[in-house]
Chain A
């Protein structure tokens, strides 16, 4: 099983700032099959990125993903108020499908 670790656990920022979230895998993720999701309080997760770097439909371009092998990142270039949420990475290159524990982005 591929175990995903996310850092930091929590980051406190202000609107307009840039944030980079890290996701590290215990083993190389086949085909860089990593996805990212956003979860706002009380809501279902929202799909953001797949294949490490491809945005989903209608996802704003302030969200970008990168990485390969065992190290992946999600960057939000300029935080909007609605971006303050928990972000999860997930790998789908190997069964079982696994998620990271999440990074919370909250208001400074």
Chain B
């Protein structure tokens, strides 16, 4: 059963507009949520994270929002740039059980920013 879900496999946005990437989770036993960016044939790079006790974290053009009651987080990129075109992975760190301390990844959303 997938604990971290990214239901949109792809997203296309015009340059300069806002990109919103979504992620849902089914398990309340996560303490951190993270976003990674990945280019083809490269390893993922850490983008931004949020603690489960916060509801927003901002870093430059990137903002992550956490809605615990809905078990939903989102990544906002404003303004979007062509260089943001990549696959974005949502991840969550498990607190208990077999996933304790490990990151669980979603399947990714491919973002395309058109000039």
**A and B assemble together:** no
